[in-house]
Amino acid sequence: MSTRLATGGRHLDRATSVSFDFNGRKLKGFKGDTLASALLSNDQMLVGRSFKYHRPRGIVAAGPEEPNALMNLGQNGHFEPNARATTTEIFDGLTAQSQNHWPSLDYDVGVVNSYASRFMPAGFYYKTFMYPAPAWKHVFEPFIRKAAGLGKAPKERDADTYEHFYAFVDVLVVGGGVAGLLAAERAGKAGAKVLLLEQSAHWGGRAPVDGAEIEGRPADAWVTDTVDALENMDNVTMRNRCMGAGVYDHGYALGYERLTDHLAPQAAPRHRLWRIRAKHIITATGAIERPLSFAGNDVPGVMLAGSVRDYVVNYGTSVGDRTVVVTNNDDAYRTALILKDAGLDVPCIIDARPHGGGALMEDAKAEGIRVETGKAIAKVKGGKRVEGVALCAQAGEGAILEEIPCDAVAMSGGWSPVVHLWSHCGGKLIWDDAQAHFRPDPAKAPTGADGQGFVSVVGIANGAMSTGDCLTDAVKGTNAALQGIGISPKRTAAPQATEEPENPMAAVWKMPQGASYKLRSKMFLDYQNDVKVSDVQLAAQEGFESVEHTKRYTTLGMATDQGKLSNINGLAILADSLNAKIPKVGTTTFRPPYHPISMGAIAGEASREIFQPIDKTPLHQWGEENGAYWEPVGHWRRAYCYQRDGESVEQAVNREVKATRESLGLLDASTLGKIIVKGPDAGKFLDMMYTNMMSNLKPGKCRYGLMCSENGFLSDDGVVARMDDDTWLCHTTTGGAARIHAHMEEWLQTEWWDWKVYTANLTEQYAQIAVVGPNARKVLEKLGGMDVSKDALGFMEWKEGKIGGFDARAFRISFSGELSYEIAVPASQGRAFWDALLAVGEEFNVTPYGTECLHILRAEKGFIMIGDETDGTVIPQDLGLHWALSKKKDDYLGKRAQQRDHMTDPNRWKLVGLETVDGSVLPDGAYAVADGTNENGQRETQGRVTSTYYSANLGKGIAMGLVLNGPDRMGEVITFPKVDGTEVQARICDPVFYDKDGEKQNV
Amino acid sequence: MLILHCPYCGVDADETELAAGGQAHIKRETVGSSDGDFEEYMFMRQNPRGVHFERWRHVNGCGKWFHAARCTTTLEVFGTYSAQTLRPPQDLLTHITGKRPGWSFSQWLETLS
CATH number at residue A839: 3.30.1360.120
Q: How confident is the model at residue A735 (pLDDT cuts 50, 70, 90)?
A: confident
Q: What is the pLDDT of residue A950?
A: 97
**Distance (Å, whole) CA A873 – CA A311:** 64
Q: How confident is the model at residue A132 (pLDDT cuts 50, 70, 90)?
A: low
Whether residue A960 sits in one domain with residue A898:
yes
Which among A451, A749, A896 has CB closest to B76? A451
In a domain, A812, yes or no: yes
Kindly tell me if the per-residue pLDDT of A121 is higher than 80.
no
Q: What is the pLDDT of residue A48?
A: 87
Domain positions in chain B: 3-112
**Distance (Å, whole) CA A63 – CA A199:** 10
pLDDT tens digits, A188-235 = 999 999 999 999 999 999 999 999 999 999 999 999 999 999 999 999
Kindly tell me if the per-residue pLDDT of A883 is higher than 90.
yes
In a domain, A22, yes or no: yes
Kindly tell me if the per-residue pLDDT of A147 is higher than 60.
no
Kindly tell me if the per-residue pLDDT of A133 is higher than 80.
no
Closest CA to A233 of A294, A266, A190: A190
- Chain length of chain A: 1003
Total CB pairs under 8 A between chain A and B: 66
Last residue of a domain, one of A807, A825, A844: A844
Give the CATH number for residue A227. Answer: 3.50.50.60
Q: What is the pLDDT of residue A215?
A: 94
Closest CA to A957 of A915, A900, A923: A915
Give the CATH number for residue A897. Answer: 2.40.30.110
pLDDT tens digits, A483-542 = 999 999 998 899 999 888 899 999 999 999 999 999 999 999 999 888 999 999 999 999
The residue of chain B nearest to residue A279, with distances taken between CA atoms, is B3
DSSP-assigned letter for residue A590: P
The burial class, CB within 10 Å (0-12 / 13-18 / 19+), for A750 is buried
Q: What is the pLDDT of residue B45?
A: 92
Q: How confident is the model at residue A443 (pLDDT cuts 50, 70, 90)?
A: very high
Q: What is the pLDDT of residue A105?
A: 72
Closest CA to A497 of A64, A202, A177: A177
Is residue A67 within 8 A of residue A91, CB to CB? The reply is no
The burial class, CB within 10 Å (0-12 / 13-18 / 19+), for A756 is middle
A746 and B21 within 8 Å at the Cβ level: the answer is: yes
A929: β partners: A941
Q: Before A446, cis peptide (omega within 30)?
A: no
Using a pLDDT cut of 90, give the percent of chain A over it. 87
More reliable by pLDDT, B101 or A146: B101
Whether residue A300 sits in one domain with residue A423:
no
Q: What is the pLDDT of residue A103?
A: 62
In a domain, A351, yes or no: yes
Say how many CA atoms lie within 13 Å of A717 toward its Cβ: 22
In a domain, A616, yes or no: no
**Distance (Å, whole) CA A767 – CA A828:** 8
pLDDT tens digits, B59-80 = 999 999 999 999 999 999 999 9
Q: Report the residue of B51, B74, B100, B103 to disrupt the A interface, i.e. the one with the largest count of A CBs within 10 Å.
A: B74
What DSSP assignment string belongs to A182-246?
Answer: HHHHHHHHTT--EEEE-SSS-SBTTHHHHT-EETTEEHHHHHHHHHHHHHT-TTEEEESSEEEEE
**Closest-CA distance of chain A to residue B67, Å:** 10
Whether residue A14 sits in one domain with residue A148:
yes
Whether residue A309 sits in one domain with residue A265:
no
A749 and B65 within 8 Å at the Cβ level: the answer is: yes
Kindly tell me if the per-residue pLDDT of A768 is higher than 60.
yes
Whether residue A244 sits in one domain with residue A201:
yes
Last residue of a domain, one of A364, A396, A413: A413
In a domain, A617, yes or no: no
Whether residue A830 sits in one domain with residue A898:
no
In a domain, A364, yes or no: yes
- The arithmetic mean of pLDDT across residues A782-800, rounded, is 96
Which among B1, B38, B99 has CB closest to A249? B1
B84 and A901 within 8 Å at the Cβ level: the answer is: no
Phi, psi torsion values for A915, nearest 5 degrees: -130, 130
In terms of CATH, what superfamily is B3-112? Folate-binding superfamily (3.30.2270.10)
Structural domain for A247, as ranges: 162-288+417-498
Scanning A663-722 for CB atoms below 8 A from B yields: 710-711
B64 and A250 within 8 Å at the Cβ level: the answer is: no
The burial class, CB within 10 Å (0-12 / 13-18 / 19+), for A78 is middle
pLDDT tens digits, A401-417 = 999 999 999 999 999 99
Chain A environment of B76 (Cβ under 8 Å): 447-451
Which among B42, B77, B83 has CB closest to A897? B42
B42 and A711 within 8 Å at the Cβ level: the answer is: yes
A717: helix, strand or coil: strand
Kindly tell me if the per-residue pLDDT of A68 is higher than 80.
yes
Last residue of a domain, one of A413, A434, A467: A413
Q: What is the pLDDT of residue A128?
A: 60
Using a pLDDT cut of 70, give the percent of chain A over it. 95
Whether residue A270 sits in one domain with residue A172:
yes
The answer, as to whether pTM is greater than 0.95, is no
Q: How far does Cα B30 stand from its chain's mean position? A: 22
Q: How confident is the model at residue A27 (pLDDT cuts 50, 70, 90)?
A: very high
Which among B38, B64, B76 has CB closest to A449? B76
Give me the helix-helix angle, A331-341 and A305-315, nearest 10°: 40
Q: How far is CA A918 from CA A954, A956, A978, A986, B74, in A?
A: 14, 9, 14, 8, 66
Q: What is the pLDDT of residue A144?
A: 60
Chain A environment of B83 (Cβ under 8 Å): 749-750, 753
Q: What is the pLDDT of residue A126?
A: 66
Q: What is the pLDDT of residue A694?
A: 97
Q: What is the pLDDT of residue A320?
A: 96
| A749 in contact with chain B, both atoms CB, cutoff 8 A | yes
Here the ipTM equals 0.97
| A895 in contact with chain B, both atoms CB, cutoff 8 A | yes
Closest CA to A378 of A326, A336, A335: A326
Give the CATH number for residue A538. Answer: 1.10.10.1100
- The arithmetic mean of pLDDT across residues A238-256, rounded, is 98
Mean residue pLDDT of chain A comes to 94
Structural domain count of chain A: 6
In a domain, A626, yes or no: no
More reliable by pLDDT, A712 or A111: A712
Q: What is the pLDDT of residue A413?
A: 97
Kindly tell me if the per-residue pLDDT of A131 is higher than 70.
no
In a domain, A702, yes or no: no
The burial class, CB within 10 Å (0-12 / 13-18 / 19+), for A608 is exposed
A151: helix, strand or coil: coil
Give the CATH number for residue A73. Answer: 3.10.20.440
**Distance (Å, whole) CA A946 – CA A923:** 10
Kindly tell me if the per-residue pLDDT of A136 is higher than 70.
no
Q: What is the pLDDT of residue A432?
A: 95
Scanning B35-74 for CB atoms below 8 A from A yields: 35, 38, 42, 55, 57, 59, 63-65, 71, 74
Whether residue A358 sits in one domain with residue A284:
no
Chain A environment of B3 (Cβ under 8 Å): 250-251, 277, 449
| A451 in contact with chain B, both atoms CB, cutoff 8 A | yes
